[in-house]
């Protein structure tokens, strides 16, 4: 081992386990070829590309290259009802792919299934795996997460693709790292962070300032090392110019949030009028007490929409919205997998005027550029709202997108919290892109070649 190899081994960077790209087709935009080239050479990596940046063609090209390299099919795992969309994209770009629901690979380069069916598949049958919208994995129950984790562990080639890797909590990057066989989540925390709830150390903070929701903060002087490490297994992009390419057609139309404040017909017990709720228990009480008022406001807001989505969180909200909105189709958690897929497909194809569902069921991975109107009942989850809005407000959308936020006086604190998280997410992504650009430049130019060989006992 040379001295510069020894130093590299101490940086937690590594050179990847991939191979020389076999085919980077011309239909990829220049920035997409740049990213796909890196993911193939990396072998096991993450692609944090914003909605509409072309994650599907990029991951399909990656999968096709892995298939050609290994001689085995590649499994692409998607959120519910996204599989048919992925299959269409594969046909569009001339990649051989098919959907499997029974656990057997199809006679094609790429087999597509959803997370709910992953336990039916044998990892030995595949040369690699793509986890589409991988940030959704953390919301699965323990059994489902264990199935995904175990399947990934057996794969020589792995690719995670998502738009919101860690929208307001960069410590969550440890989940992706562990899935790719990098540092485990706990090892990552111990290496780069301190628990601010257990120590009075005031040296941490730096650019990111206050601790995150779990109380973890960067160790002093560890931020640059952390982002260099992340950039060794991940790439993040919101627009082509993040990597020096021309933005071209990748410019989003306007997005308008319209706030409708509804008054509860019954006030809080012991009060003459509603005041901002304090704590989750009071917020839930206000939400349940104003279901009728909020659903009526949402139905009125989307009444004239050619096509729209009405997002909700409670079963009672979903049921009432479906009754109040003309032409609405409701997707519920109690629907069978097949029924959910069919309803989401029908809306995607324009056969349904208004879709009523929860972000947890329909906010991941689907392309709804045909729709530019939606209503939303705010909750504290920034990621759910981001994903819901970005089903329509994404590259390829040609019309301004309008989101009607239906709120109450009692839920005023929720909007303030969402804005804080949105600002934090923007700052985090800015830093993520900046550090990745800096780190890749350093990795290309740094040269520790001193001609020195270290003793074998030190190596």
CA distance 332 to 346: 15
What is the pLDDT at residue 52? 83
Kind of pairing between the strands at 216-218 and 354-357: unpaired
What is the pLDDT at residue 210? 37
What is the pLDDT at residue 214? 54
**CB-CB contact of 167 with 383 (8 Å):** yes
What's the CATH code, domain 255-417? 3.40.50.300
Token digits of residue 36: 């796909």
DSSP single-letter state for residue 458: T
Question: Where are the strands (E) in 151-215, listed by range?
Answer: 157-162, 193-195
**Sole residue written with tokens 């228990």:** 281
What is the pLDDT at residue 134? 82
- The three-class DSSP label of residue 270 is coil
What is the pLDDT at residue 146? 80
CA distance 64 to 248: 27
- The three-class DSSP label of residue 295 is helix
What is the pLDDT at residue 64? 97
CA distance 322 to 330: 6
Contacts of 429 (CB under 8 A, 6+ apart): 236, 238
What is the pLDDT at residue 423? 85
Cα dihedral 369, 372, 377, 380 sign: positive
What is the pLDDT at residue 166? 58
CA distance 407 to 76: 38
Question: pLDDT (tens digit, 0 to 9) for every residue of the chain, 459 residues total?
Answer: 555 554 444 444 444 589 999 999 999 999 999 999 999 999 999 998 888 889 999 999 999 999 999 999 999 999 877 888 899 999 999 999 999 989 988 999 999 998 889 999 999 999 999 999 887 676 666 677 788 888 888 899 999 998 765 555 666 788 788 889 888 888 998 999 988 665 444 343 333 333 454 578 888 888 888 888 888 898 988 889 988 899 987 888 999 999 999 987 776 565 555 566 666 777 788 888 899 999 999 999 999 999 999 999 999 999 999 999 999 999 998 999 889 989 999 999 999 999 999 998 887 888 899 999 999 999 988 888 988 999 999 888 999 999 999 998 777 788 888 888 888 878 777 777 887 777 666 555 544 343 444 445 444
Instruction: Please state the pTM of the whole predicted model.
Output: 0.79
Q: What CATH fold (topology level) applies to the domain 3-182+233-248?
A: Rossmann fold (3.40.50)
What is the pLDDT at residue 425? 79
**CB-CB contact of 330 with 394 (8 Å):** no
Burial of 275 per CB tally in 10 Å (0-12, 13-18, 19+): middle
- Angle 405-371-49 from CA coordinates, rounded to 5°: 85
**CB-CB contact of 14 with 232 (8 Å):** yes
DSSP single-letter state for residue 27: T
Residue closest to 128 by CA, chosen among 181, 76, 61, 179: 76
**CB-CB contact of 279 with 410 (8 Å):** no
What is the pLDDT at residue 61? 97
Ranges of CATH 3.40.50.300 domains, the chain:
3-182+233-248, 255-417
Token digits of residue 310: 């009405």
Contacts of 382 (CB under 8 A, 6+ apart): 167, 168, 418, 421, 422, 425
What is the pLDDT at residue 177? 87
What is the pLDDT at residue 42? 94
């Amino acid at each position: 081992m040379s001295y510069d190899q020894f130093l590299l081994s101490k940086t937690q960077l590594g050179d990847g386990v991939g191979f020389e790209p076999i085919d980077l087709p011309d239909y990829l935009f220049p920035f997409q070829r740049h990213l796909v080239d890196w993911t193939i050479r990396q072998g096991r990596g993450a692609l944090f590309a914003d909605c509409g940046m072309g994650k599907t063609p990029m991951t399909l090209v990656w999968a096709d290259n892995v298939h050609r390299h290994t001689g085995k099919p590649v499994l692409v795992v998607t959120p519910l009802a996204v599989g048919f969309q992925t299959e269409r994209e594969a046909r569009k770009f001339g990649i051989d792919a098919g959907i499997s629901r029974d656990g057997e690979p199809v006679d094609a380069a790429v087999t597509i299934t959803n997370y709910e069916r992953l336990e039916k598949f044998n990892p030995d049958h595949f040369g690699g795996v793509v986890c589409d919208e991988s940030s959704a994995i953390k919301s699965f129950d323990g059994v489902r997460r264990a199935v995904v984790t175990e399947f990934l562990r057996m794969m020589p080639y792995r690719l995670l693709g998502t738009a919101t890797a860690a929208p307001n909590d960069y410590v969550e990057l440890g989940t992706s790292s562990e899935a790719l066989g990098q540092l485990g989540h706990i090892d990552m925390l111990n290496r780069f962070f301190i628990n601010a709830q257990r120590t009075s150390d005031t040296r941490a903070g730096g650019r990111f300032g206050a601790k995150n929701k779990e109380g973890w903060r960067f160790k002093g002087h560890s931020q640059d090392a952390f982002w260099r490490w992340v950039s060794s297994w991940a790439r993040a992009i919101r627009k082509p110019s993040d990597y020096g390419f021309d933005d071209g057609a990748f410019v989003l139309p306007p997005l308008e949030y319209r706030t409708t404040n509804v008054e509860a017909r019954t006030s809080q017990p012991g009060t003459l009028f509603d005041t901002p709720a304090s704590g989750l228990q009071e917020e839930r009480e206000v939400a349940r007490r104003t279901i009728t008022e909020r659903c009526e406001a949402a139905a009125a807001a989307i009444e004239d929409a050619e096509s729209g989505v009405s997002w909700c969180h409670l079963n009672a909200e979903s049921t009432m919205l479906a009754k109040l909105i003309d032409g609405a189709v409701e997707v519920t958690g109690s629907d069978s997998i097949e029924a959910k897929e069919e309803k989401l497909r029908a809306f995607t194809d324009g056969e349904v005027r208004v879709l009523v569902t929860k972000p947890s069921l329909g906010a991941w991975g689907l392309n709804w550029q045909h729709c530019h109107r939606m209503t939303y009942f705010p909750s504290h989850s920034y990621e759910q709202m981001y994903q819901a809005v970005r089903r329509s407000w994404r590259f390829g959308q040609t019309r301004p997108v309008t989101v009607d936020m239906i709120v109450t006086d009692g839920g005023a604190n929720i909007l303030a919290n969402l804005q804080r998280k949105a600002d934090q997410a923007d700052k985090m992504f800015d830093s993520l892109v900046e550090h990745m650009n800096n780190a890749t430049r350093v990795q290309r130019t740094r040269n520790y070649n001193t001609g020195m060989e270290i003793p074998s006992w030190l190596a």
